[in-house]
Chain A
Amino acid sequence: MATYISLIPAIPLLGFLVLALFGQKLTRKTIGIIGAGSVGIVALLTLIAGTEFLKSLPQVKSYSVVVWQWINAGNLKADISFSLDALSLVFCFVITFVGFLIHVYSIEFMAKDEGFSRFFAYMNLFVGSMLILVLADNILLLYLGWEGVGLCSYLLIGFWYKEPANGYAARKAFIITRIGDTAMIIGIFILFLSFGTVNINDLMQQASGKWAAGSPIAVLTAALLLGGALGKSAQLPLQTWLPDAMAGPSPVSALIHAATMVTAGVYLIARTHVLYSLAPIVQTAIAIIGALTLLIAGFSALAQHDLKRILAYSTISQIGYMFLALGVGAWSAAVFHFMIHAFFKALLFLAAGVVILVLNEEHDIFKMGGLRKKMPVVYMTFLIGASSLSALPLITAGFYSKDAILWYSISSETGSTLLWLAGITGAFLTALYSFRMIFITFFGEAKTQPAFLPGKTMTIPLIILAVFSVFAGFVELPKSMGNIHLFSSLVDNTLPAVVVNETGHSEIVFQLLSAIIVLAGIYLAYTVYLKKPALSESFSHSRLNRFFEKGWGFDKFYDVIFVKPVVWLAEIDKDDLFDWLNIGISRLALLMNRLLGITQNGKLRWYLMSFTVGIALILTYLICR
């Protein structure tokens, strides 16, 4: 078992090396086989590792393997070492399986792109880095994977680099996540300085032993690590990069900016959950940030015109739900929603990618319409994805995962009615914007004709993901219906179970409420976007709508607060002291050059005279010394 854990991240990285070094010489078929195949093999390996893990579960809760020594300087010892426990297993499973389906899909999606091998090289590098991130045994290696996925995100957002706007979006994503990463690395430094180790398990054990709950250092460290998580997971206030990240190809949005990388923040918080239980203030902040983010992003999603931007805001909003769950200590609910979200959001992005591709890069949903009859498979899968996203009661997986979060947001020890209200409002918004998307894109009259129909390589991954989006929910059913806890009993091997406040809230009432809210949202969408479009039309010109569309003005705000002053300062500070210093050095060098140049005059006897005088001086010095 332990021996092949290290192969899980190694194989995609090998695929990356092969594609990066020889990609130009390989045929497209070979590139596709290497690119998707490497992830497929890893998916199988994860499956084998997972079954073995489950078999040995009650006795052995995690497996570790040290591959080689990485750093050994002073008391800083870090190895390339991996460990697999229930949390990593869930993440590995999602990364490799969803990743594999997206890779297969990409073979057809990117078929005509000139950067075919580059694309698969980056994608494999991403999968490898992400697996390093979730399997890392020490926090430094985790950070390596963390930065690796950030790099791939940058490379893939700017994949079509000939368009300057794409490069801008890529830089924006990179810089904003870097703000969070800087906070995170400072947090890592504090952890290392306090405990002298970087091993995550040791750190967590020592932290719970040595740091008092609520002590300033625990709060500070937890907050700094949270900063990294906020940047990566596009949560308030660092959420502005994600909508622009949609400049990348759709499979990239599906894999990196929906299913896996953006949930790295969720992983980090779940992995270091001990710190957050030591810093209850920060944990409450997580819940509040999650609740605010899900509301803000939900309203923004409602006003977007670009199909992919709707999905981007919806991703921010759904990760907000995960943060809300983390904040109230419902660790397994957060991880469960991560998994289900990965399925349906990857599905939605891939289906949206098909729609955009066949309509010749048309992103505006108001120019689509009527695609239901033309592309039944895409329509059905998109509908399933959107239903799961809006948590359609009973039949979709999204219902079970989101309902768990809603329930714990009020019933957990740290939960509150306000958080629940935010969550339920978010659920209403989710249903509304999901079905707005459906009704406008797939119903009504056709405004643009599809240029061609998607092939099987693209539709089969959609169908598989649609199946998962429905049935994956049945591994975890609430107490009131079914009472199946396969998933949480697995994850609870690694994470503490949620502490429920027994206040006599009846779970079934809340479930009924959220079901009604969702159905109401769908009905409202049906009314205003399909039956009486005039209603939504009048709203779409309002200033409020524009405010939502621009993402609540965060971009503008940051531009005024941060970007403009820095640019202004740089502008007036072109010739400062340091410039003078540098210019002075170069001028001095030139002057010396001229002085020395005079002595090199080509006169042989002048040289001889200099020799003689020089030797005479040296001799005089030696004698008279």
Chain B
Amino acid sequence: MLTVPVEIQIMLAGILFLLGLIGLLVRRNMIFMLMSIEVMFNSAGMVFVIAGKQWRQPDGQVMFIFILAVTAVEVAIALALILQVYHHFKTLDADSVNKLRDSN
């Protein structure tokens, strides 16, 4: 079986995380921002799986299951919030939703 060195695996996860981060920072549509967050979550999960495989422990994969559950909840809440924002402002642009700020 072809083995990829663990450094490469971690680097893959890092690239994935950076992609998610860049997406989060440059996108203005909230749906896309949410998706970017999901990507970042998955990269984190990936590190767990890699670590689990490296030390031959099942814990890493167990943790990934947990992360999936947390993500599911997070997405549900975030979507509900986005729905409310859209309902209220008739837009999904994160920059134009800026009413919650210091008055002066």
Contacts and interface: CB of A to CB of B under 8 A. Distances in A.
Nearest to B99: A602
A602 B25 contact: no
A603 B95 contact: yes
Contact of A605 (B28, B99, B101, B104): B28
Nearest to B103: A597
Given A604-B94, A605-B94, A608-B24, A597 B104 contact: yes
A572 interface: no
Nearest to B21: A612
Contacts of A602: 97-101
A456 interface: no
A608 B100 CA distance: 15
Given A594-B104, A597-B104, A604 B25 contact: no
A598 interface: yes
Contacts of A604: 94-95, 97-98
Nearest to B26: A605
Contacts of B98: 601-604
Contacts of A608: 24-25
B7 interface: no
A609 B25 CA distance: 7
A600 interface: yes
B98 to A, nearest CB: 3
A616 to B, nearest CB: 10
Interface of A is mostly: helix
A593 to B, nearest CB: 9
Interface residues of B, number: 14
Contacts of A601: 98, 101-102
B10 to A, nearest CB: 15
A446 B9 CA distance: 116
Contacts of B21: 612
Contacts of B95: 603-605
Interface in A568-618: 594, 596-598, 600-605, 608-609, 612
Interface in A431-475: none
Contacts of A594: 104
A597 B102 contact: yes
A603 B95 CA distance: 6
A604 B82 CA distance: 13
A358 to B, nearest CB: 67
Contacts of B101: 600-603
Interface string A36-62: 000000000000000000000000000
Interface in B27-46: 28
A310 B102 CA distance: 69
Contact of A612 (B25, B94, B104): B25
A601 B103 CA distance: 9
B52 to A, nearest CB: 24
Contact of B102 (A598, A605, A609, A612): A598
B19 to A, nearest CB: 14
Interface in B44-94: 94
Contacts of A597: 102-104
A288 B55 CA distance: 99
Given A605-B94, A605-B95, A600 B102 contact: yes
A86 to B, nearest CB: 75
A602 B94 CA distance: 10
A597 B99 CA distance: 14
A296 B25 CA distance: 90
Contacts of B24: 608
Nearest to B22: A612
Contacts of B103: 597
A353 B93 CA distance: 84
A587 to B, nearest CB: 16
18 contacts: A596-B102, A600-B101, A601-B98, A601-B101, A601-B102, A602-B98, A602-B99, A603-B94, A603-B101, A604-B95, A604-B97, A604-B98, A605-B25, A605-B28, A605-B94, A605-B95, A608-B25, A609-B25
- 5 A-B pairs with the lowest CB-CB distances in the bound complex, closest first: A602-B101, A602-B98, A597-B102, A600-B102, A604-B94
Interface of A: 594, 596-598, 600-605, 608-609, 612
Given A601-B98, A612-B25, 19 more contacts: A594-B104, A597-B103, A597-B104, A601-B101, A602-B98, A602-B99, A602-B100, A603-B94, A603-B98, A603-B101, A604-B94, A604-B95, A604-B97, A604-B98, A605-B25, A605-B28, A608-B24, A608-B25, A612-B21
